Amino acid sequence: MPVPGPSPAQSSLPAAAARFGTHGRGADAVTGGKPALPTGPALPFGPAARPSHPVPVPAPEALPVPAGGPGGDLAAAPVRQAAATTATPNPALERIMRGPSGVGTEGLFFFTPRQAPPAAPPAPADPPAPRPAAGGRPIPGLYHHPVPEPDPARVEEVSRRIKRWAVDEVQAYPPEWEDQFDGFSVGRYMVACHPDAPTVDHLMIATRLMVAENVVDDCYCEDHGGSPVGLGGRLLLAHTALDPVHTTAQYQSQWAQSLLSDAPRRSYRSAMEYFAQAATPSQADRYRHDMARLHMGYLAEAAWAETKYVPEVHEYLAMRQFNNFRPCPTITDTVGGYELPADLHAMPAMQRVIALAGNATTISNDLYSYTKELDSPGLHLNLPVVIAAREGLSDKEAYLKAVEIHNDLMHAFEAAAAELAVSCPDPRVVRFLRGVAVWVDGNHYWHQSNTYRYSLPDFW
Ligand X SMILES: CC(C)=CCC/C(C)=C(\C)COP(=O)(O)OP(=O)(O)O
Binding region for Mg ion (CB under 5 A): 365, 369
Q: Output the residue with the shortest Cβ distance to ligand X.
A: 369
CB 171 within 8 A of CB 264: no
The least distance separating Mg ion from the CB of residue 366, rounded to whole angstroms, comes to 6
Which option in ligand X, Mg ion, none does residue 258 bind, with CB closer than 5 to 8 A by kind? Answer: none
Angle between helices 281-307 and 313-322 (to 10 degrees): 140
The least distance separating ligand X from the CB of residue 422, rounded to whole angstroms, comes to 30
Write out the DSSP string of 112-180.
-TTSPPTT-PPPPSS---PPPPSSS-PPTT------PPP-HHHHHHHHHHHHHIIIIIS--S-GGGHHH
Question: Between residues 92 and 238, which has the closer beta carbon with respect to ligand X?
Answer: 238
Angle among Cα 78, 82, 85 to the nearest 5 degrees reads: 165
* Phi and psi at residue 230, to the nearest 5°: 75, 10
CB 452 within 8 A of CB 206: no
Q: Residue 237: helix, strand or coil by DSSP? A: helix
DSSP tag of 213: H
Question: Between residues 171 and 323, which has the closer beta carbon with respect to ligand X?
Answer: 323
Question: Between residues 323 and 332, which has the closer beta carbon with respect to ligand X?
Answer: 323
Which option in Mg ion, ligand X, none does residue 210 bind, with CB closer than 5 to 8 A by kind? Answer: ligand X
Amino acid identity, position 416: A
Which option in ligand X, Mg ion, none does residue 327 bind, with CB closer than 5 to 8 A by kind? Answer: ligand X
Residue 365 touching ligand X (CB under 6 A): yes
CB 263 within 8 A of CB 13: yes
Question: Between residues 110 and 399, which has the closer beta carbon with respect to ligand X?
Answer: 399
The least distance separating Mg ion from the CB of residue 19, rounded to whole angstroms, comes to 11
Alpha carbon distance 448, 166 (integer Å): 25
Residue 443 touching ligand X (CB under 6 A): no
Residues 291-330 that bind ligand X (CB under 6 A): 294, 323-325, 327-328
The least distance separating Mg ion from the CB of residue 368, rounded to whole angstroms, comes to 7
Alpha carbon distance 70, 32 (integer Å): 45
Alpha carbon distance 91, 251 (integer Å): 60
Which option in Mg ion, ligand X, none does residue 13 bind, with CB closer than 5 to 8 A by kind? Answer: none
Which option in Mg ion, ligand X, none does residue 267 bind, with CB closer than 5 to 8 A by kind? Answer: none
Please return the burial class of 397, using the count of CB atoms within 10 Å of its CB with bins 0-12, 13-18 and 19+.
Answer: middle
Question: Between residues 109 and 304, which has the closer beta carbon with respect to Mg ion?
Answer: 304
Cα 24 from chain centroid?
21
CB 430 within 8 A of CB 97: no
The least distance separating ligand X from the CB of residue 85, rounded to whole angstroms, comes to 35
Judged by CB under 6 A, the residue of 18, 108, 193, 210 near ligand X is 210
Which option in Mg ion, ligand X, none does residue 328 bind, with CB closer than 5 to 8 A by kind? Answer: ligand X
Question: Between residues 171 and 323, which has the closer beta carbon with respect to Mg ion?
Answer: 323
Question: Between residues 20 and 111, which has the closer beta carbon with respect to Mg ion?
Answer: 20
Question: Between residues 231 and 418, which has the closer beta carbon with respect to Mg ion?
Answer: 231
Q: Please tell me the count of residues contacting ligand X according to CB under 6 A.
A: 13
Judged by CB under 6 A, the residue of 106, 196, 213, 333 near ligand X is 213
Which option in ligand X, Mg ion, none does residue 264 bind, with CB closer than 5 to 8 A by kind? Answer: none
Which option in Mg ion, ligand X, none does residue 364 bind, with CB closer than 5 to 8 A by kind? Answer: none
Question: Between residues 196 and 217, which has the closer beta carbon with respect to ligand X?
Answer: 217
Q: Note the maximum CA span of the chain.
A: 72
Sequence-ordered strand ranges (E) for 27-139 = none
CB 267 within 8 A of CB 216: yes
Residue 217 touching ligand X (CB under 6 A): yes
Question: Between residues 359 and 365, which has the closer beta carbon with respect to Mg ion?
Answer: 365
Amino acid identity, position 4: P
Whole-number Cα distances in Å, 12 to 17, 36, 161, 260, 266 = 14, 10, 24, 13, 14
Per CB under 6 A, the segment of 193-201, 213-221, 255-263, 419-427 that binds ligand X is 213-221
Site residues (vs ligand X, CB under 6 A): 210, 213-214, 217, 294, 323-325, 327-328, 362, 365, 369
